[in-house]
Amino acid sequence: SPACLRSSGTKRRQVAALQIGNALTGPCSYFAAHRPTVYTSLGVRLNRIGRSSWLAAIAFTLWTAWVLKTYVPLSLRPFFHSWRDMLPRQIPLALTQPWIADLAVVLILALAAVCVGGWFLERLRIADMNATERFIFSAAAGFAILVMTASALAVPGWFRPTPLRILLAAFTLAGCLSLPRTVPHLRAFAREVWMGLRREPLAWIPLALTALFCWFALIRAAAPETSFDAVMVYLPYPQEFLRRGTFSLVELYRGNIPLYGVVYFALGEVLHGESGARMLNYLTLPGVLLATATLARTACRGLSRPVFYTSLAVCWVASCPILGYQASICYPDLGVALWSTLALQATMR
């Protein structure tokens, strides 16, 4: 009958449409059906690759060798001559080297900053931190207190060498008085680093390369200043402020030049001229590396080798040529990078 013919035609059209739909959506439906298997096998492969850290270490070592060949002229041979010139043949005369004495004074000042900054964090009741985070944030808080107090001396016109030396002496004395309360935290920091390296001995390789790059930057920091901006701006400005005894405080927050960095360099010049300023600026390099370690540790939570990946990130940062250059000249960019990294870490926490 006509009704049966219409019914059979409708069924044939429905079957044909279904076949066409299956032909068009077949690959998508197959991928949708097998997607968990594909993703699972990919995750297993990535996990196997992540476990083979020795291959990553070898590749990273080859990359570092290429960097040394590319960015360091004639490889490491010129640096051996620099080492012989910097280190005296008679060990008792080592303390007579100006840059060694300046570095020792700067390290004592850094220890005082850790002690004073740790006391300040305790007053703010900020305790939800691991040992590494407490160490770097205590040092940053201590130096912030020192720089802002030195800037405040410009209000009555006391931004001069003698008041600043008195401030540095008082700051160091306050750090020494707070040292007994800081020693347990320093021990916890050393224990945390040592236990992490014992669990993952492979992390020693990137740290050894990091120490090598830091030594290269120290060699350049011990040499006389040759940077145009430092010679024309960032060293003469502190001298001008020290001569006048004051400066416009609004420029600390407005302008193209971050004058808190100029105050930081003025403290170095009060310690021992240009060499003291360069060593104080070099101190920001280990600060950046410690801030990188805390940031990488937060990002590497849940991974199979967090200590190795953290040390790898620190080595990548230390091997950056522009970073070593900024650590060896009186330029405030490395300090800005340090504060930005700490701000990001505090935001993530």
Dump pLDDT digits (tens) for 225-266: 888 888 888 888 888 888 888 877 655 555 545 578 888 999
pTM of the model: 0.70
From residue 236, alpha-carbon distances to 54, 242, 273, 274 in Å are 50, 10, 11, 10
Which residues 6+ apart lie within 8 Å of 181 measured at CB?
115, 118, 119
pLDDT at 222: 85
Dump pLDDT digits (tens) for 319-343: 888 888 889 888 888 888 898 888 8
In the chain, which residue ranges form alpha helices assigned H by DSSP? 2-51, 53-71, 77-86, 98-123, 131-152, 161-199, 204-222, 228-229, 236-244, 259-282, 284-299, 306-318, 321-327, 333-348
What's the length of the chain?
349
- Does position 16 have pLDDT exceeding 70, yes or no? no
Q: What is the mean pLDDT of the chain?
A: 78
Dump pLDDT digits (tens) for 263-314: 899 998 898 888 888 999 999 999 999 999 998 888 887 778 888 889 988 9
Average pLDDT in the 78-87 region?
A: 58
